[in-house]
Amino acid sequence: MTPLQPPPTTLLDKYHGPAFEPIYTTTVTVTGGEAGHGRASGVARSDDGNLDVALRLPVELGGDGGGTNPEQLFAAAYAACFHGALNLLAARSRVAVHDASVEVSVAFGRDPVDGLFMLTADVRIHLPDVEKSVAETLVRNTERFCPYAKMARNGITSIVALAT
């Protein structure tokens, strides 16, 4: 078995094309489950079968808990992406980031602007044994590079359409 390797630092090379250039695409489908409601009792499955997660409404939202919820999935995805980007930039800069961790807290709550709902994300990066000014520069550069941080800051292109 081949040992796992991080992605190449060539992913840091800038792209200069005329339009968005997809490198990887995945599809996840959520179905409603017992309650007929994806958030309350759904199942999330990826097109390749590697993700197969029972979704459950957290106790704080009136559910029984006992499963994963969209906020946890988003926090995990954000943290994983930021951690990966951080490590790529550190490798390119020859900064050792042993035992680095990224902790993302996602809050689901009421939006004071429209009275509906919104999410907030709090991202905390732990870089033990990295000099503070180097760590700060690395985190700021990662914040500019990480697509999840970019999405949280600038929004995302999202096309919502009824399937035919």
Separation of alpha carbons 93 and 4, rounded Å? 22
Task: Give yes or no for a contact between 16 and 99, defined as CB atoms under 8 angstroms apart.
Answer: no
State pLDDT tens for residues 8-67. Answer: 999 889 999 999 999 999 999 999 988 999 999 999 999 999 999 999 999 999 999 999
- Domains in the chain, CATH or no CATH each: 14-68 (2.20.25.10), 69-164 (3.30.300.20)
State pLDDT tens for residues 77-123. Answer: 999 999 999 999 999 999 999 999 999 999 999 999 999 999 999 99
Separation of alpha carbons 99 and 135, rounded Å? 13
